[in-house]
Amino acid sequence: MTKVDIFEKVQTVIGLSKKESAEMVEAVFALMKSTLESGENLKISGFGSFMVKQKANRRGRNPQTGEALTIEARRIVTFKPSGILKDQINKELSP
């Protein structure tokens, strides 16, 4: 599913114009991005949590040359689905 697909689903379900639904979805994504950029975690009840984690410097190597190098510290975003989402995804697999 792409952003355009999300725009169209919102338009169909809520009945907004295509432009209004696109603006609404973009506003939600912008809010999510700014929250994560500031280092805050984002929890959406019934869906899951996006968490910002700090990774430290670590040793690595170039796989082509074998040369040792340092992989710089960085922040990453991880996602942990809620129990409700896990259950919904897996309910088709239950007998």
Is the pTM of the predicted complex or chain greater than 0.85? no
Could you list the residue range(s) of the whole structural domain that residue 48 is in? 40-95
Is residue 19 within 8 A of residue 41, CB to CB? The reply is: no
The pLDDT profile of the chain, 95 residues, written as one tens digit per residue, is 999 999 999 999 998 899 999 999 999 999 999 999 999 999 999 999 999 999 999 999 999 999 999 999 999 999 999 999 999 998 876 56
Question: Are both 47 and 57 inside the same structural domain?
Answer: yes
One domain for residues 31 and 49: no
CATH number at residue 93: 4.10.520.10
For residues 1 and 24, state if they share a domain: yes
Same domain, 1 and 31: yes
The answer to whether the beta carbons of residues 20 and 10 sit under 8 Å apart is: no
Is the same domain home to 49 and 95?
yes
Report how many domains make up the chain. 2
Q: Which of 78, 75, 83, 82 is nearest to 51 (CA)?
A: 78
